[in-house]
Structure 1
Amino acid sequence: MAITGTLEDREDIRGLNARYCWTIDFGRYDEWIDCFTEDGTFESPRFGKHSGRDGLKRFAALYKESLGGAQVLHVVANPAFELDGAIGAGTAHLLYYHCKEGKVQQSTVGYYTDKLRKTPAGWRFASRQVTILGHH
């Protein structure tokens, strides 16, 4: 991918990726939802597709319940994206750790496919789709 967009735009998107991880890992779901545009969509093979603020709130409730008290850790690595004005598209690797009873019980690898949009509040995910490697 070519390097496009301003350094400020690119740094904002890197911060968006970090904020996405921190907020979902520590149960700050309203802040996680704010990583998306108003009509933003999140899609995963396990939980399906969820759109808009209400859809993302429903996903967050399902996700929280699915954890069963475990601590999780999302690591987003190698973000790559192309920007064209106020829109963009990108990918990032996902490393996911599910920790319970003092040990890592599950680790998952995959990647995100993103559509990005610049809003008055900064860059947000217009859509984020996760692909889990080895998941059919």
Structure 2
Amino acid sequence: MPSNESDWSDEFEIRALVDRYCDAVNRRDVPLWLETWNDDPHWELFGRPTQGREAALGVLQGALAMLNFVVQTAVNPVIEVNGDRATGRWLVTEWSESEQLGRLMLLFIYHDEYERTPSGWRIASRRMQLLYQGPPDLSGQSFSPTSEAG
């Protein structure tokens, strides 16, 4: 829990940052999505790391090109601020539909690192820990939320 007014303000700004990230994914707003990252972000999805804005952008554009529909929400954050750096953990639900995969639901945890920049808080690192991948009826494969795997 934030210990002072500054920490509360920082936590609020980080929550707003992650809200903008999800909103950008949902609306396919690539410029807004890019604004949520720092200048050299690390992004790891499904155990595959990318480094840098161009690499992350390529992954996002590839994913969006496959999807006819996507909605992403992030809830229950645990945020810890330490000066100009912070960490966060979010439970994310993503519903999507594509020609290749049909209707799909993902449940995962994002393990984040943030940095304060002259433009405000930005995501420096984001790692996905997959909890579930499969049909929205939860008949697909699930993974232990206590493990740090992938």
- Fold-level match, TM-score > 0.5? yes
> Structure 1 residue 125 and structure 2 residue 123: aligned?
yes
* Corresponding position of 1:11: 12
Q: CA RMSD in A?
A: 2.0
Does the residue aligned with 2:28 lie in a helix, a strand or coil?
Answer: coil
Match of 2:84 among 83, 86, 92: 86
1:86 corresponds to which letter in structure 2?
D
Greater gyration radius: 2
* Corresponding position of 1:77: 75
CA deviation map 1:19-66 (0-9, x unaligned): 0101012111121121111011111007x2222121122112211222
Structure 1 CA distance, aligned partners of 2:57 and 2:105? Answer: 25
Structure 2: stretches of 5+ with no match in the other structure: 132-141, 144-149
* Corresponding position of 1:52: 52
Structure 2 CA distance, aligned partners of 1:105 and 1:57? Answer: 24
User: What TM-score, normalized by structure 2, do the two folds share?
Assistant: 0.78
Does the residue aligned with 1:110 lie in a helix, a strand or coil?
Answer: strand
- The alpha-carbon deviation at position 100 of structure 1 amounts to 6.3
* Corresponding position of 1:95: 93
Runs of 4+ that moved beyond 4 A: none
Which one is further off, 126-135 or 86-95?
126-135
Does the residue aligned with 1:3 lie in a helix, a strand or coil?
Answer: coil
User: What TM-score, normalized by structure 1, do the two folds share?
Assistant: 0.85
Which one is further off, 91-100 or 80-89?
91-100
* Corresponding position of 1:116: 114
2:39 corresponds to which letter in structure 1?
E
Structure 1: stretches of 5+ with no match in the other structure: none
